[in-house]
């Protein structure tokens, strides 16, 4: 009987740990870890009724998006052209320089502007013209970088994640910086 008690304690401990694992995995069976681990705890969880999903983890991360901005300058007096300035809004280089609240506001402004391309022409374009004095025109384009699904990224481990992502372009607008499309025209 003395040898049975430690064996029962070990079996009870293993059973408790297995139940806790089932409780952690089965509510998130839609996640990557849940799909992998459900092979081991799924049959038991289905038998005892622990297979209800909660889906409290986000299914996929948000796709990175930004506005690609090209600032065009007029020709110089000698006939040469100044290189256009190509940047993005929100600018990824300013990420460490700005506060998180300012960064959130920049993302919110960008998302608001791309909801209706007219906002790019009537509001955001004239604002950019004021930010870059001497510019002749500003071209804006909404770019979304699609991320591969987690399963695809895990299956193709040898391929770089950036090579698997794709750029999709949506709203596009161009504004002349002569003041004709200023926000007072709204």
Tokens for 174? 């161009």
**Residue of 49 and 184 predicted with greater confidence:** 49
- Residues 151, 164: contact at Cβ < 8 Å? no
Residues 72 and 139 in one domain: yes
- Count of domains in the chain? 2
Assign 16 a pLDDT band (cuts: 50, 70, 90).
very high
* Same domain? 118 vs 31: no
pLDDT, residue 79, reads 78
Q: What is the mean pLDDT of residues 131-140?
A: 91
Q: What is the pTM of this model?
A: 0.58
- Model confidence pLDDT, tens digit, residues 75-91: 888 878 889 999 888 87
| % of the chain with per-residue pLDDT over 90 | 14
Show the domain range for 14.
4-48
**Residue 102 forms part of a structural domain:** yes
Asked if residue 14 is part of any domain, the answer here is yes
Is the predicted pLDDT of residue 95 greater than 80, yes or no?
no
122, 178: one domain: yes
């Amino acid at each position: 009987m003395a040898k049975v008690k430690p064996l029962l304690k070990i079996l009870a401990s293993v059973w408790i740990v297995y139940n806790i694992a089932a409780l952690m995995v089965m509510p998130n069976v839609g996640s990557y870890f849940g799909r992998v681990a459900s092979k081991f705890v799924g049959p038991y969880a289905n038998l005892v009724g622990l297979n209800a999903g909660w889906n409290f983890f986000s299914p996929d991360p948000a796709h990175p998006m930004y506005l690609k901005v090209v600032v065009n300058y007029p020709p110089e007096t000698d006939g040469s052209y100044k290189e256009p300035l190509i940047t993005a809004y929100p600018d990824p280089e300013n990420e460490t320089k700005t506060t998180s609240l300012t960064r959130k506001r920049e993302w919110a402004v960008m998302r608001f502007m791309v909801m209706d391309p007219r906002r790019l022409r009537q509001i955001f374009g004239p604002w950019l013209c004021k930010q870059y004095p001497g510019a002749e025109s500003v071209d804006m384009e909404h770019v979304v970088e699609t991320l591969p699904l987690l399963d695809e990224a895990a299956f193709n481990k040898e391929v770089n994640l950036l090579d698997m992502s794709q750029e999709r372009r949506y709203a596009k607008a161009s504004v002349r910086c002569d003041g004709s499309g200023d926000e007072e025209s709204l």
